[in-house]
Amino acid sequence: MQMIAHYTVKSYAAFRTAFDADAEDRGNNSLNLLQLWRESDSSAWALFDVGNARTAREYLDGAAAVFNSQGGVTATSFHFVETA
């Protein structure tokens, strides 16, 4: 399973610093980054491999709030997908 994430951010530079610092926490919560794309100074997309969907969802619903605050994230959307 994979997850596509969209982040709306105040500043891409601040987001990227916090995003990089959060890598270990994401990894410990079943999210392994495959690709990160910068759409603009206020928008980024990420593709993750998901080891355990329940663990990943719990992280996104709780602990990820710390990352969002540190990274200046103003909105997110997450889409769990599987290869068809």
List, edge to edge, every strand of the sheet that includes 31-40: 31-40, 43-50, 2-9, 73-81
Split into its structural domains, the chain has a count of 1
Per residue in 19-51, pLDDT tens?
999 999 999 999 999 999 999 999 999 999 999
Q: What CATH number corresponds to the domain at position 60?
A: 3.30.70.260
pTM, two decimals, is 0.93
Q: Which domain holds residue 22?
A: 2-81
Least confident of 9-13, 30-34, 60-64, 74-78: 60-64
